[in-house]
Amino acid sequence: MNRFLSSLFMFGIGFALLFLLCSGHFAVLSRNDNLDVQLQLFSRVRPEILVLGDSHAAMDVDARTLGPRYFSFAYPQENWREILLKARYAFDAKPEIREVVIPLDVHMFGAYRNEDEDLTHTMRFDRSYEHLAETFGGRWFRAHYVRSLSSLYLPLTLAPNWTNYRVLVLDDLSKNILGKTPRKRIEIDAYGSMSYSDTNEFDSLPASSRREAARARAQEQLHDPIVCAPLVRAFDSFLDLCASRRIQVIGVRYPLTPEFREAAASYDLERVEQVYRDRSGHFEHVLDYRTLFDGKPGSFRDEDHLTKHAALEFTNRLRRDLEQIVPEPSELRSASWERGTAVAP
Amino acid sequence: MLFNSLHFLIFFPVVAALFFAAPDRYRLPLLFLASCYFYMAFIPAYILILFVLIAVDYTAGILIERATGKARKRYLVLSLIANIGMLGVFKYFNFFSTNVAAVNQWLGIPVHPILLHLALPIGLSFHTFQSMSYTIEVYRGNQKAERNLLVYSVYVLFFPQMVAGPIERPYNLLPQLRRPVRFETNRVTEGLRIMLWGFIEKVVVADRLALYANQVFNDPARHHGLTVLLGIYFFSFQIYCDFSGYSHIAIGAAKILGFNLMTNFKRPYFADSIADFWKRWHISLSTWFRDYLYIPLGGNRVPVWHWYLNLFLVFLISGFWHGANWTFLVWGALHGAYLIAAIVLAPLRSNVLSRLRLRGTEWGIRALDTVVTFHLVTFAWIFFRARSIADAGLICRNLFQWTTGRVSFEYPLGPSDLTLAFLCIAFLLFVDSLHGRFSFAQALSVRPRWLRWSFYYATVFGILFFGVLTQSKFIYFQF
């Protein structure tokens, strides 16, 4: 048995060394990912109006169309805890920010947005133990903190990163052997605009499949508990943060397909609406675009995200509405967004 | 607790280390506690159901052995009623209630079905069948009633195989639980190798193919032609690797602890007839049905029509064992029909072969038989996997709608993933084709350490690199 145990120990050491090697390789391949590009871009701009949120804000808003006064700091799947810490980071780094545009969607407090034991995403812009403990808290916070810190430095200790690693290695091989650079699923351009690389259209599906997809999506996003107290607390902290910095909050309800709205109607949305109603004093304005694309075929790529051309149309409309709320000072009107602010991803 | 979870990867080495560190007399209690913990990781309260089953069948075994005459049968029947009753309440009640209500509705009598809102205990069908096997064997006099409650409890609860088999027989597992176990490096290494292969089957092959198959079967209206065809083929290999992977991990884990479980799969997709397929697929269940249902019904020693009826009934019940849904009944009925058709058509086949001056054992004929058998089995899987008969019908209809020759799988499945899925199947078939002709384990064991270890490192990192690490449940956990 002792011989077996010593062999096992030696095998374990070999495994750990190979694991470190793979982790290092992954770190090299994954530098300049979408979040890196976004953070680099942010360091180079001086926005007055910050767009925050999850994939709705990240995909439906075209950063280039918005212009130099704005910066879209939204990132897919971010929840209120992450948005709060990202906002604090942004407000500290850019004191000139005067307005924030936030999503007031029905899924923002749902259980599926409450699952963030992994803090590595947040640690990319805020590694402070106090901030993270205050925002995430919970019984197992210390364990999650240590685990996240280890996966920040050894990303392959996080299971999903092995999938990313495989994709990156295969892409790298494809680039070096075949000379082809494969497209990422979500691409970020030099202005920070994010978009899906595919050209799927929700309307191309049969009606029954659209209903089924919308039902599945609504179930995923709105299943019980539809309002999670920790997310509401983070939302309140976010509103308090904005109030303390005298930053105006503008709420946006992003476009949704009729199929999704129909599927969502069977859930207890009133509880979410109550959360927003109770805090309506914090929002100077709420822009509701949920039905904006009804009857416009080809506008959605899935149940609740716009296609590229619809995102452009939506951004123009959003910008026009925002300009009415926050008029652009005349001296900035001539500033060129094309020069100086873009970085290569 | 899932085998493919971090929880198990910590749990198992700890249990194995404690098992070998503990003196003999503490090992069985340790296995009992570990098994309880393993099961309670799913729904803790459901361990009580298992305790009830253990109490009933342990007592029944002793009473059957002590009793004489009709009393023996009475105790057996009571034990069977308790086991099947448990299955009836948790698994079949809602199915019957819904269907009775539907029939009444059809007759114009409005009835609301009474539904029990109970989650199905994980692996209930497996441990009830294992328990029934014990009482039946005691009744038949092939097995002495177990007097040690702890030994009997571990027989039912033994964690490697408690939730999805192999469904053990008392004469195989009970004696092993009573004898002392010594640590043997070769056995432990062999167990680890078997587990590793199980992880490859589950995490690399089954879960990857599931990404495609799920898209087709979860929304059949969306997919047509080639996409549906690939989805069906992928499911065929997914279910094999999922279940075979589970069985291998179970057999490997048990082997490490010093126990030999029965083989559950023998290259089923190389079967050259449906009868052959059932000698290779889920062997512990098919032999259970053979020993405890088919033979008691008279087997093939009855008039021909009765034999056909026996075959059909056994497969129908086997289908129903898998799940309380019409889809499983159709799946079972299809297999029953295949077997009967094979028997009925056997003289015709012989005639055709003899006219062609063939014996039927030629390589080409056997390959053709294998391909046909695989496709018959795969066709039946459509009903097994579909959510409803209507969905299965839609899949069959859409299978023949080839508007384009393109596949329409969605993200996250790009061309490289599709290639990987095909490579997984090719790899599996290659390994299966070598099985029996070449012992990879033996060939590896005589190689120098650096080569063996390189192979193990490559395998472990291969699982991490190519695997789908999302901890998806094993399909057979639901039965």
Closest residue of chain A to B468, computed from CA coordinates: A163
Chain A residues close to B451, C-beta within 8 Å: none
Answer yes or no: do A163 and B183 touch at CB < 8 A.
Answer: no
The gap between the terminal CA atoms of chain B, to the nearest Å, is 16
The gap between the terminal CA atoms of chain A, to the nearest Å, is 54
Q: Would you place residue A164 in the very low, low, confident or very high pLDDT band (cuts 50, 70, 90)?
A: confident
Distance from CA of A175 to the nearest CA of B (A): 13
Residue B217 and residue B231 in contact, taking contact as beta carbons nearer than 8 Å: yes
**pLDDT beyond 80 at A335:** no
Judged by DSSP in three states, A70 sits in strand
Mean pLDDT of chain A: 86
Task: Please tell me the predicted confidence (pLDDT) of residue A143.
Answer: 87
Distance separating alpha carbons of residues B198 and B164, to the nearest angstrom: 14
Using a CB–CB cutoff of 8 Å, tell me whether B188 touches chain A. yes
Q: Which token pair is A10? A: 């030696």
Residue A263 and residue A211 in contact, taking contact as beta carbons nearer than 8 Å: yes
Q: Which token pair is B212? A: 């495609």
Answer yes or no: do A209 and B222 touch at CB < 8 A.
Answer: yes
**SS3 readout for B313-360:** HHHHHHHHHHCCCHHHHHHHHHHHHHHHHHHHHHHHHHHHHHHCCCCC
Q: Write out residues 13-32 of A within 8 Å (CB-CB) of B.
A: 14-15, 18, 22
Distance from CA of A241 to the nearest CA of B (A): 36
Judged by DSSP in three states, B262 sits in coil
DSSP B412-431: T--HHHHHHHHHHHHHHHHH
Using a CB–CB cutoff of 8 Å, tell me whether B421 touches chain A. no
Answer yes or no: do A4 and B466 touch at CB < 8 A.
Answer: no
Work out the angle at residue A148's Cα, subtended by the Cα atoms of residues A144 and A150, and round it to the nearest 5 degrees.
120
Supply the DSSP symbol for B263. Answer: P
Q: Quick one: which H or E segment has residue B54?
A: helix B47-66
Counted across chains A and B, CB pairs separated by less than 8 A come out at 54
Closest residue by Cα to residue B216 from B17, B8, B75, B410: B410
**pLDDT beyond 50 at A334:** no
Strands A99-103 and A248-253: parallel
Give B214 or A201, the one with higher predicted confidence.
B214
Supply the DSSP symbol for B440. Answer: H
**pLDDT beyond 60 at A14:** yes
Distance separating alpha carbons of residues B58 and B157, to the nearest angstrom: 13
Answer yes or no: do A160 and B20 touch at CB < 8 A.
Answer: no
Give B285 or A30, the one with higher predicted confidence.
B285
Distance separating alpha carbons of residues A39 and A286, to the nearest angstrom: 27
**Interface-testing mutation among B460, B464, B469, with chain A (most A C-beta atoms within 10 A):** B464
Judged by DSSP in three states, A186 sits in strand
**SS3 readout for B71-121:** HHHHHHHHHHHHHHHHHHHHHHHHHHHHHHHHHHHHCCCCCCCCCCCCCCC
* B428 alpha-carbon distance from chain centroid: 18
Exactly one of B224, B282, B322, B335 is catalytic; which is it? B322
Task: Please tell me the predicted confidence (pLDDT) of residue A339.
Answer: 38
Whether the pTM exceeds 0.90: the reply is: no
Closest residue of chain A to B453, computed from CA coordinates: A11
Cα-flanking dihedrals φ and ψ of residue B2, to 5°?
-85, 145
Distance from CA of A167 to the nearest CA of B (A): 9
Distance separating alpha carbons of residues A180 and B329, to the nearest angstrom: 50
For residue range B320-358, what is the model confidence (pLDDT) as tens digits? 999 889 999 999 999 999 999 999 999 999 899 888 888
Closest residue by Cα to residue B178 from B146, B209, B136: B146
Q: Mean pLDDT across the stretch A91-102?
A: 93
Answer yes or no: do B461 and A18 touch at CB < 8 A.
Answer: yes
Q: Is B322 a catalytic residue?
A: yes
**Interface-testing mutation among A18, A158, A166, with chain B (most B C-beta atoms within 10 A):** A166
Chain A residues close to B457, C-beta within 8 Å: 14-15, 18
Task: Please tell me the predicted confidence (pLDDT) of residue B469.
Answer: 81
Q: Which token pair is B79? A: 């034990």
Going from the C-alpha of A301 to that of each of A53, A195, A317, B451, the distances in angstroms are: 19, 11, 19, 50
Answer yes or no: do A209 and B221 touch at CB < 8 A.
Answer: yes
Supply the DSSP symbol for B476. Answer: G
Among B412, B466, B469, beta carbon nearest to A159: B469
Using a CB–CB cutoff of 8 Å, tell me whether B41 touches chain A. no
Percent with pLDDT over 90 in chain A: 46
Going from the C-alpha of B41 to that of each of A66, A143, B47, B250, the distances in angstroms are: 51, 20, 10, 17
Residues paired with residue A306 on neighbouring β-strands, in sequence order: A300
Chain B residues close to A205, C-beta within 8 Å: 222
Q: Could you list the pLDDT tens digit for every one of the 479 residues in chain B?
A: 888 888 899 999 999 999 999 998 899 999 999 999 999 988 888 899 999 999 999 999 999 999 988 899 999 999 999 999 999 998 889 888 888 888 888 888 888 888 888 877 888 889 899 999 999 999 999 999 999 999 999 999 999 988 887 999 999 999 999 988 889 998 999 999 999 999 999 999 999 999 889 988 988 888 888 889 999 999 999 999 999 999 999 999 999 999 999 999 999 999 999 999 999 999 999 999 999 999 999 988 899 999 999 999 999 999 999 988 999 999 999 999 999 999 999 999 989 988 888 877 778 888 999 999 999 999 999 999 999 999 999 999 988 887 655 666 665 567 777 888 899 899 999 988 887 677 777 788 888 889 999 999 999 999 999 988 876 666 666 65
CA dihedral B113→B116→B122→B128, nearest 10 degrees, is: -80
**SS3 readout for B14-36:** HHHHHHHHCCHHHHHHHHHHHHH
Q: What is the number of residues in chain B?
A: 479
Q: Write out residues 192-231 of B within 8 Å (CB-CB) of A.
A: 218-219, 221-222
Answer yes or no: do A212 and B465 touch at CB < 8 A.
Answer: no
Task: Please tell me the predicted confidence (pLDDT) of residue B232.
Answer: 95
Say what the ipTM of the complex is: 0.77
Q: Which token pair is B454? A: 């390189």
Distance from CA of B189 to the nearest CA of A (A): 9
DSSP B266-313: S-GGG-SSHHHHHHHSSHHHHHHHIIIIITTTTTTSS-HHHHHHHHHH
Residues 6+ apart with CB under 8 A from A149: A123
Residue B97 and residue B114 in contact, taking contact as beta carbons nearer than 8 Å: yes
For residue range A204-262, what is the model confidence (pLDDT) as tens digits? 888 888 888 899 899 989 988 999 999 999 999 999 999 999 999 999 999 999 999 99
Q: Would you place residue A177 in the very low, low, confident or very high pLDDT band (cuts 50, 70, 90)?
A: confident
Distance from CA of B245 to the nearest CA of A (A): 20
Q: Mean pLDDT across the stretch A131-152?
A: 86
Chain B residues close to A157, C-beta within 8 Å: none
Answer yes or no: do B222 and A163 touch at CB < 8 A.
Answer: no
Q: Which token pair is A185? A: 């699923």
Among B183, B219, B457, beta carbon nearest to A213: B219
Q: Write out residues 165-184 of A within 8 Å (CB-CB) of B.
A: 165-167, 169-170, 174, 182
The amino acid present at B187, given as its one-letter code, is R
Strands A248-253 and A283-288: parallel
Residue with the two structure tokens 């092959």: B205
Distance separating alpha carbons of residues A186 and A169, to the nearest angstrom: 17
**Interface-testing mutation among B411, B418, B423, B451, with chain A (most A C-beta atoms within 10 A):** B411
What is the rounded radius of gyration, in angstroms, for the C-alpha atoms of chain B? 24
Answer yes or no: do B221 and A206 touch at CB < 8 A.
Answer: yes
Answer yes or no: do A209 and B183 touch at CB < 8 A.
Answer: no
